[in-house]
């Protein structure tokens, strides 16, 4: 018979069961997969850049054509992402809040840039917007040229970036509590006040995420841009095309130097946007 002290001893607490079985194995596989797919290629990129001296690196990444490509790539990506934030929100709002004939077709068309090869998208936009295209033939006599210049680049980036904003905002709108909107309306809030003070704070992190994804995709886009850009040095030459040109000239170190600059800038921008998302969630009361 056990003593009373032994019976009174607290039972050992069992370790909480993990939701994911074999956590150590799956974690090891995840880290290995991440290293093979992401870290090792990026490390090779940086190590190849280290073969250059500082003067060679600086000359490679600050040449006149390279600097012009930076301004065009980042500027066009920023403009396209801002446009997609506005119209992507409108598209997501219509798909969530309204019922209309052909809604499923419109919803499927949003994903078309995901499935369509980028080269096909570039050729299609060029055939549509060029001077002899279906739309361009009517715009060019009025002095509006949308192909073979920076305007075409912005249009191509809007096309490939729109689904990122729609698909990140749409689930948040679907899960939004309509009772809060009804309460705001009952308290006398106008539609604009309900949107800005009730709806927008809840979807702002999703909008920032969509903006970041569209911006990152725009900076690295190549296939859909080269057909409609014209690729004129100092005018419509994007940074990915600069990198491809250096690779074709067997200037591998110069190509990796420019790519490293793009990588660092993209990483900094993503950190800033993630910080803004965290700040927005804290101030809106959502879980971080």
Q: Are 61 and 46 part of one and the same domain?
A: no
pLDDT digits (tens, 9 = 90+) for 200-255: 888 888 888 889 889 988 888 888 898 888 888 888 899 999 999 998 888 888 89
Number of folded domains in the chain? 2
pLDDT digits (tens, 9 = 90+) for 33-55: 888 888 888 888 888 888 888 89
Q: Are 36 and 152 part of one and the same domain?
A: no
Domain of 39, in residue numbers: 20-50
pLDDT digits (tens, 9 = 90+) for 49-103: 888 888 989 998 998 999 999 999 999 999 999 999 999 999 999 998 888 898 8
Does residue 6 fall inside a structural domain?
no
Helix residue ranges, H only, the chain: 4-8, 23-34, 40-49, 54-61, 64-97, 103-110, 112-115, 118-129, 136-139, 150-175, 178-186, 191-194, 200-220, 223-229, 239-248, 252-284
Number of CB atoms found within 10 A of residue 155's CB: 20
Q: Are 33 and 141 part of one and the same domain?
A: no
pLDDT digits (tens, 9 = 90+) for 137-189: 888 888 888 888 899 999 999 999 999 999 999 988 888 777 777 777 777 77
In the predicted model, is pLDDT for residue 1 greater than 50?
A: no
Does residue 11 fall inside a structural domain?
no
Give the integer Cα–Cα distance in Å for 280 and 204: 7
Does residue 12 fall inside a structural domain?
no
Query: What dihedral angle (degrees, nearest 10) is formed by the CA atoms of 156, 158, 162, 164?
Result: 80
**Closest listed residue to residue 227, CA positions, set 80, 107, 94, 124:** 124
The pTM assigned to this predicted structure is: 0.81
Does residue 13 fall inside a structural domain?
no
Q: Are 167 and 27 part of one and the same domain?
A: no
Q: Are 43 and 175 part of one and the same domain?
A: no
First to last CA, the chain: 53
Question: Quick one: angle between helices 103-110 and 64-97, nearest 10?
Answer: 160
């Amino acid at each position: 018979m056990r003593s009373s002290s032994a019976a009174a001893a607290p039972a050992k607490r069992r370790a909480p069961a993990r939701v994911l079985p074999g956590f150590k194995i799956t974690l090891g596989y995840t880290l290995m997969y991440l290293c093979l797919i992401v870290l090792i290629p990026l490390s090779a990129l940086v190590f190849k850049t280290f073969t250059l001296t500082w003067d060679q690196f600086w000359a490679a990444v600050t040449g006149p054509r390279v600097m012009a490509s930076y301004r065009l790539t980042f500027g066009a990506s920023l403009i396209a992402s801002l446009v997609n934030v506005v119209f992507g929100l409108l598209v997501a709002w219509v798909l969530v809040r309204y019922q209309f004939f052909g809604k499923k077709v419109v919803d499927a068309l949003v994903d078309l840039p995901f499935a369509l090869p980028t080269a096909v998208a570039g050729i299609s936009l060029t055939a549509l917007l060029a001077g002899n295209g279906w739309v361009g033939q009517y715009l060019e006599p009025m002095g509006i040229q949308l192909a073979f210049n920076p305007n075409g680049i912005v249009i191509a980036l809007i096309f490939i970036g729109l689904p990122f904003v729609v698909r990140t905002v749409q689930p948040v709108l679907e899960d939004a509590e309509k009772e809060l909107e009804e309460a705001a309306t009952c308290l006398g809030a106008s539609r604009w006040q309900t949107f800005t003070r009730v709806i927008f704070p809840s979807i702002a992190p999703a909008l920032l995420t969509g903006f970041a994804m569209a911006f990152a995709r725009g900076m690295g886009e190549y296939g859909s841009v080269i057909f409609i850009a014209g690729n004129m040095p100092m005018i419509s030459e994007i940074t990915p095309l600069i990198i491809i040109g250096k690779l074709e000239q067997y200037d591998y170190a110069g190509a990796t130097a420019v790519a490293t600059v793009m990588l660092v800038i993209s990483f900094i921008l993503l950190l800033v946007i993630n910080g803004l998302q965290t700040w927005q969630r804290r101030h809106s009361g959502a879980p971080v």
